[in-house]
Amino acid sequence: MSIFSRLFSFADRLSEPQTIHAHCDLPCGVYDPAQARIEAESVKAIMEKFNASDENVFKTRAVYIKEQRAELVKHHLWVLWTDYFKPQHLEKYPQLHELFWKATKAAGQSKATNDVAVADDLLAQIAEIDRIFWETKKG
């Protein structure tokens, strides 16, 4: 068998559909609320720097970056909510839905303000999600 016929035979096998089964996008070990927390901490730090500055160009850049980070917070929270947490988690922690709703709303609010209290609220919501997340990983 020539090298070309072996390559084409291998390529044909790769293109054949295969059925796979998974309960999430990747093994659950890849999920972690720390991603949302880190971005939320960035949002808070940017707000603090914005409030301490008098330079308009700096403030404009700060708002732009803060909005990007806040959007990343929302993204990471929604990945946890939609991909990691399952119905059995909601049964054990019925406050999850409201907690995620409040956290993503706080992330959205942080895009529209430089009030550090909003960032503190966001971080508190994420801390509660983090606590529940790690409890679900135990058992």
- Parse the chain into domains and list their residue ranges: 31-138
The CATH number of the domain covering residues in 31-138: 1.20.120.400
Integer Cα distance of 125 and 135 in angstroms? 16
CA neighbor of 33 nearest in space, from 130, 111, 114: 130
Integer Cα distance of 124 and 101 in angstroms? 13
Please name the amino acid found at residue 105. Answer: K
pLDDT value for 137:
87
pLDDT value for 23:
47
Q: Across the chain, where does the E strand assignment appear? A: none
Contact 107, 74 (CB under 8 A): yes
pLDDT value for 138:
85
Integer Cα distance of 6 and 4 in angstroms? 5
Q: Is the model's pLDDT at 123 over the cut of 80?
A: yes
pLDDT value for 30:
78
Q: How many residues does the chain have?
A: 139
Q: Which two tokens stand for residue 21?
A: 């089964």
- If you average pLDDT over every residue of the chain, what do you get? 88
Mean pLDDT of all residues in 6-34: 63
How does pLDDT run across 43-102, given as a tens digit for each residue? 999 999 999 999 999 999 999 999 999 999 999 999 999 999 999 999 999 999 999 999
Contact 47, 66 (CB under 8 A): yes
